[in-house]
Amino acid sequence: MLIIDDTWEQRKVNEIFKVTRGQVLAASLTTPEKNRGNIYPVYSSQTKDNGLLGYYSEYLFENAITWTTDGANAGTVNFRPGRFYSTNVNGVLINENGYACYAVSEIINKVAYKYVSKVGNPKLMNNVMAEINIMITPNIDELKQISKLIEAYNQYITLHQ
C-alpha cells in the first residue's frame, strides 16, 4: 500500500545531490553487447537505447541519476541503477541516502527542460542543474514506493511494446 506523506518540500538539487559529470571515453573502447571484459553500461547523450552507448570494463558511478548536458537531448534525466560509466556529455547526481531513484529522476525530468539554454547548441550545465528547485519528500521509504510503481509501469510498457 502506498502511503503518501504530506511533508513534501521545495529543495535545490545541490542541497540533495553531489552534482558532477562523467568522463571522456572513446566509443571505440566500448562494445555494443555486454561481454566478459566489458560488463558495465556506458551512458551518453545519444537518443537510441535510452542513452546506452555500449559496455566498458570500468565503472564510475553506482545508483545515480544522469542528465544529458549537451545537444538535442539536453535536459533529459534518467535513473541509472547499478554500476555504470557515464561520458562527459552527461551530468551525474550522486546521493548515498536513497534519493538517487526513479521517483526523483522523474521529478527532475519534469522540470529540467525549462532550464536548457537554447542559444546555439542546447545545454544544461552543472551549475544550472544544481540550482533547480524541485518538490521532494524527505521520506526515503515513500520515494522507494513511488519508484517501485514507476519501475513496474515502465516494465509493463516495455512488455507490451
CATH number of the domain at 152, please: 3.90.220.20
> Residue 2 domain-assigned?
no
In a domain, 65, yes or no: yes
User: Is residue 127 one of the residues assigned to a domain?
Assistant: yes
CB 57, CB 37: distance < 8 Å = yes
Please give the pLDDT value at position 30. Answer: 96
How many DSSP H helices and E strands does the chain contain? 4, 8
pLDDT at res. 5 = 55
Reported as a pLDDT band with limits 50, 70 and 90, residue 154 is confident
Alpha-carbon torsion (81, 84, 88, 89), positive or negative: negative
Structural domain contains residue 1: no
In the sheet that 61-68 helps form, which strands lie side by side, from edge to edge?
18-21, 90-94, 61-68, 77-86, 40-43, 52-56
Examine residue 4 and state whether it is found in any structural domain, yes or no. no
Q: Which residues are within 8 A (CB) of 5 and not within 5 positions of it... i.e. 6 or more apart?
A: 137, 139, 142
Residue 13 lies in a domain: yes
Considering the entire predicted model, what is its pTM? 0.90
In angstroms, rounded to a whole number, what is the distance separating the alpha carbons of residues 152 and 161? 14
Does residue 112 form part of some domain?
yes
Q: Could you tell me if residue 132 is inside a domain?
A: yes
Domain that holds residue 21: 9-159
* Integer Cα distance of 27 and 6 in angstroms: 46
pLDDT at 73 exceeding the cut of 60 = yes
Specify the number of domains making up the chain. Answer: 1
| pLDDT above 90 as % of the chain | 76
Assign 99 a pLDDT band (cuts: 50, 70, 90): very high
